[in-house]
Amino acid sequence: MAANLGNRVLPCLLVSDMRRSLDFYIGTLGFTQTGYFPIESEPIRTEVRRDGVAIFLYTETIHAEDQPPIFTGALYLFPDDVHKVADELRGKVPFVWGPEKTEFDFFEFAIRDPDAYTLVFAERAK
Protein backbone atom coordinates (compact mmCIF):
# COMPACT_ATOMS: atom_id res chain seq x y z
CA MET A 1 0.00 0.00 0.00
CA ALA A 2 1.31 3.45 -0.92
CA ALA A 3 2.23 5.93 1.81
CA ASN A 4 -0.11 8.87 2.47
CA LEU A 5 1.28 12.13 1.04
CA GLY A 6 -0.60 14.38 3.46
CA ASN A 7 -3.24 17.00 2.75
CA ARG A 8 -1.44 20.16 1.64
CA VAL A 9 1.19 21.49 -0.72
CA LEU A 10 3.35 24.48 0.18
CA PRO A 11 4.48 26.37 -2.92
CA CYS A 12 7.99 27.78 -2.44
CA LEU A 13 8.62 30.66 -4.82
CA LEU A 14 11.96 32.29 -5.55
CA VAL A 15 11.38 36.05 -5.73
CA SER A 16 13.65 38.76 -7.09
CA ASP A 17 12.67 41.44 -4.55
CA MET A 18 11.28 40.36 -1.17
CA ARG A 19 9.89 43.80 -0.22
CA ARG A 20 8.03 44.08 -3.54
CA SER A 21 6.64 40.56 -3.15
CA LEU A 22 5.55 41.18 0.45
CA ASP A 23 3.87 44.43 -0.59
CA PHE A 24 1.96 42.47 -3.24
CA TYR A 25 0.97 39.43 -1.15
CA ILE A 26 0.21 41.39 2.03
CA GLY A 27 -0.87 44.79 0.72
CA THR A 28 -2.70 43.73 -2.45
CA LEU A 29 -3.87 40.18 -1.76
CA GLY A 30 -4.44 40.44 2.00
CA PHE A 31 -2.05 37.72 3.15
CA THR A 32 -0.31 37.91 6.54
CA GLN A 33 3.39 37.25 7.12
CA THR A 34 3.45 34.26 9.50
CA GLY A 35 7.07 33.16 9.51
CA TYR A 36 10.41 34.64 8.53
CA PHE A 37 14.17 34.20 8.59
CA PRO A 38 16.34 35.84 9.80
CA ILE A 39 14.33 38.95 10.76
CA GLU A 40 10.74 39.97 10.03
CA SER A 41 11.52 43.37 8.50
CA GLU A 42 14.14 42.04 6.04
CA PRO A 43 13.61 38.31 5.55
CA ILE A 44 15.38 36.20 2.99
CA ARG A 45 12.76 33.50 3.62
CA THR A 46 9.20 34.07 4.72
CA GLU A 47 5.78 32.45 4.77
CA VAL A 48 2.57 34.31 3.98
CA ARG A 49 -0.92 33.01 4.73
CA ARG A 50 -4.50 33.87 4.03
CA ASP A 51 -7.27 31.60 5.21
CA GLY A 52 -6.06 28.03 4.48
CA VAL A 53 -3.52 29.08 1.84
CA ALA A 54 0.20 29.34 2.62
CA ILE A 55 2.99 30.37 0.24
CA PHE A 56 6.69 30.40 1.04
CA LEU A 57 8.78 33.18 -0.54
CA TYR A 58 12.57 33.29 -0.62
CA THR A 59 15.35 35.34 -2.18
CA GLU A 60 18.18 32.87 -1.71
CA THR A 61 17.92 29.46 -3.29
CA ILE A 62 17.33 26.46 -1.07
CA HIS A 63 19.05 23.20 -2.05
CA ALA A 64 19.69 24.45 -5.58
CA GLU A 65 22.06 26.49 -7.65
CA ASP A 66 21.39 30.20 -8.03
CA GLN A 67 18.85 30.78 -10.75
CA PRO A 68 16.40 33.51 -11.71
CA PRO A 69 12.75 33.18 -10.65
CA ILE A 70 10.99 30.91 -13.16
CA PHE A 71 7.85 28.83 -13.12
CA THR A 72 5.95 27.82 -16.22
CA GLY A 73 2.78 26.56 -14.56
CA ALA A 74 0.08 28.16 -12.44
CA LEU A 75 -0.89 28.02 -8.79
CA TYR A 76 -4.62 27.34 -8.36
CA LEU A 77 -6.40 28.67 -5.29
CA PHE A 78 -9.98 27.59 -4.56
CA PRO A 79 -11.88 30.27 -2.62
CA ASP A 80 -15.48 29.75 -1.48
CA ASP A 81 -16.64 32.56 -3.77
CA VAL A 82 -14.41 33.37 -6.75
CA HIS A 83 -16.58 36.34 -7.76
CA LYS A 84 -16.19 37.91 -4.31
CA VAL A 85 -12.39 37.57 -4.56
CA ALA A 86 -12.48 39.05 -8.08
CA ASP A 87 -14.48 42.01 -6.76
CA GLU A 88 -11.94 42.45 -3.93
CA LEU A 89 -8.98 42.50 -6.35
CA ARG A 90 -10.57 44.38 -9.26
CA GLY A 91 -8.69 47.65 -9.76
CA LYS A 92 -5.82 46.56 -7.48
CA VAL A 93 -4.12 44.18 -9.90
CA PRO A 94 -4.62 43.45 -13.62
CA PHE A 95 -6.44 40.25 -14.46
CA VAL A 96 -4.68 37.97 -16.94
CA TRP A 97 -8.06 36.41 -17.79
CA GLY A 98 -11.58 36.19 -16.44
CA PRO A 99 -13.55 35.92 -14.40
CA GLU A 100 -15.01 33.49 -16.89
CA LYS A 101 -16.63 30.08 -17.04
CA THR A 102 -14.24 27.48 -18.40
CA GLU A 103 -14.95 24.45 -20.54
CA PHE A 104 -14.33 22.37 -17.41
CA ASP A 105 -17.31 23.98 -15.64
CA PHE A 106 -15.30 26.26 -13.35
CA PHE A 107 -15.45 30.02 -12.89
CA GLU A 108 -11.92 31.36 -12.69
CA PHE A 109 -9.69 34.36 -13.12
CA ALA A 110 -5.93 34.79 -13.04
CA ILE A 111 -3.43 37.40 -11.91
CA ARG A 112 0.36 37.56 -11.90
CA ASP A 113 2.58 38.46 -8.98
CA PRO A 114 5.62 40.76 -9.37
CA ASP A 115 7.81 37.84 -10.54
CA ALA A 116 5.18 36.74 -13.11
CA TYR A 117 3.97 33.72 -11.14
CA THR A 118 0.38 33.06 -12.26
CA LEU A 119 -2.20 32.74 -9.50
CA VAL A 120 -5.55 31.33 -10.64
CA PHE A 121 -8.64 31.64 -8.46
CA ALA A 122 -11.18 28.97 -9.36
CA GLU A 123 -14.56 27.70 -8.17
CA ARG A 124 -16.74 24.93 -9.58
CA ALA A 125 -19.73 26.46 -11.38
CA LYS A 126 -22.96 26.10 -9.41
| Cis ω for the linkage preceding 43 (within 30 of 0) | no
Which residues span the domain enclosing 37? Answer: 9-60
Tally of domains within the chain? 2
pTM of this structure = 0.89
Residues 55 and 94 in one domain: no
Q: Which residue, 36, 60, 84, sits at the end of a domain?
A: 60
Residues 82 and 50 in one domain: no
- Say if 2 falls within a structural domain: no
Nearest Cα neighbor of 102 from 125, 126, 74 is: 125
Model pLDDT, residue 70: 72
* pLDDT tens, position by position, 18-46: 999 999 999 999 999 999 999 989 999 99
- Say if 34 falls within a structural domain: yes
* pLDDT tens, position by position, 90-106: 999 999 999 999 999 99
